[in-house]
Amino acid sequence: MCEVICIANQKGGVGKTTTAVNLAASLAVEEKKVLLIDADPQANATTSLGFHRNSIEFNIYHVLIGTKQLSQIIQKTSITTLHLAPSNIGLVGIEKEFYNQKRSGRELILKKKIEDVLGVYDYIIIDSPPALGPLTINALSASHSVIIPIQCEFFALEGLAQLLNTIKLLRKEINPNLAIKGLLPTMYSSQNNLSRQVFADLLQHFDEQLIKISDTQNTIVIPRNIKLAESPSFGKPVILYDIRSQGNIAYQNLAKAILKRA
Ligand SMILES: Nc1ncnc2c1ncn2[C@@H]1O[C@H](COP(=O)(O)OP(=O)(O)OP(=O)(O)O)[C@@H](O)[C@H]1O
Ligand SMILES: [Mg+2]
């Protein structure tokens, strides 16, 4: 059965796209069939996989407004088992389109579109924008679970209560089975006091929610790693850019943890 996982946090720049791209790639090299859906008008996941944002004619916007089916916009990537549903800045227009829809059902548009390809993929990973607007709500409504990247910096937990509350409401009203797969500390730097402090706070208050390596029960933490920051400019997930980097090892561990839980 296909598992749909949304990467969400309305806070900007916390590592959502880096997580979406590299988790998708790591699952794909484990021979799982993976679709990465870029649901962010910034189209960072699209460019991170080497696609120029304006060179693709049709994108997720056209799927959401109903002029294309999801299967018609899907692109192949340099990893055979990884496909991409690209985005484009034009996706900002979707908010207006959504508000023109009847009140009921507009949160479930992406979920309906995904139904067509559920039989094709083992995992669908959705990258969402830094807002709790209609795109993120659609992404969460379409998902079985959510991973919440938390940047190990000052204000790390800002907005988390609001996000958890939104998830609670969505469970009540739209998607009763939406699970929190876990909080994922990102950009952790052991040399940095603040980073260590934020991680200690996460362990103290949210230990249950942190994702663990199955065998050792060690918490999965994504380190601050230059290779993770560089690889998008080469249009590659980090596994194709520097397989031995700490960043790649961390995302491969995340993929393994998710495979074990499946
Ligand atoms: N573990 C890491 N180590 C070093 N740099 C990182 C790491 N994770 C992310 N970055 C860099 O930090 C910046 C923000 O990351 P990313 O784009 O993944 O965040 P985001 O949450 O998707 O942002 P937005 O909210 O704008 O969509 C990017 O330049 C990215 O390359
Ligand atoms: Mg992003």
Question: What is the tally of structural domains in the chain?
Answer: 1
So what's the pLDDT on residue 133?
93
Confidence (pTM) = 0.97
What is d(CA 174, CA 93) in angstroms, rounded to the nearest whole number? Answer: 24
Q: Please tell me the distance between residue 8's alpha carbon and the centre of ligand 2 in angstroms.
A: 9
What is d(CA 4, CA 143) in angstroms, rounded to the nearest whole number? Answer: 5
Nearest to 167 by CA among 40, 4, 39, 10: 10
Per-residue exposure over 41-66, b if at least 16 CB sit within 10 Å of its own CB, e if not: bbbbbbbbbbbebeebebbbbbbbee
Sites in the chain below the pLDDT cut of 70: 102-104, 261-262
Instruction: Enumerate residues 6+ apart whose C-beta is below 8 A from 61.
Output: 87, 88, 90, 91, 93, 94
So what's the pLDDT on residue 124?
98
- CA angle 106–107–112, rounded 5-degree value: 85
So what's the pLDDT on residue 103?
66
Q: Quote the tokens at residue 200.
A: 């200690």
So what's the pLDDT on residue 262?
47
Nearest to 152 by CA among 207, 210, 232, 224: 224
The upper half-sphere exposure of residue 52, i.e. CA atoms within 13 Å in the direction of its Cβ, equals: 2
Give the Å distances, CA to CA, from 220 to 27, 30, 151, 191.
Answer: 16, 18, 13, 18
DSSP 223: B
Nearest to 169 by CA among 144, 210, 137: 137
Neighbours of ion ligand 2 (CB under 5 A): 16-17, 44
Pocket of ligand 1 (CB under 6 A): 12-18, 40, 42, 44, 130, 186-187, 222, 224-225, 228-229, 232, 247
Say which CATH number the domain at 16 has. Answer: 3.40.50.300
CB atoms within 10 A of CB 233: 10
Q: Please tell me the distance between residue 20's alpha carbon and the centre of ligand 2 in angstroms.
A: 9
Q: Quote the tokens at residue 199.
A: 């991680």
Q: Please tell me the distance between residue 198's alpha carbon and the centre of ligand 2 in angstroms.
A: 21
Ligand 1 atom with the shortest distance to the CA of 11? 25
- Does residue 165 contact residue 131 with C-beta atoms inside 8 Å? no
Dump pLDDT digits (tens) for 3-56. Answer: 999 999 999 999 999 999 999 999 999 999 999 999 999 999 999 999 987 889
So what's the pLDDT on residue 243?
98
Range of the domain at 44: 3-261
What is d(CA 253, CA 258) in angstroms, rounded to the nearest whole number? Answer: 9
Q: Quote the tokens at residue 100.
A: 């023109």
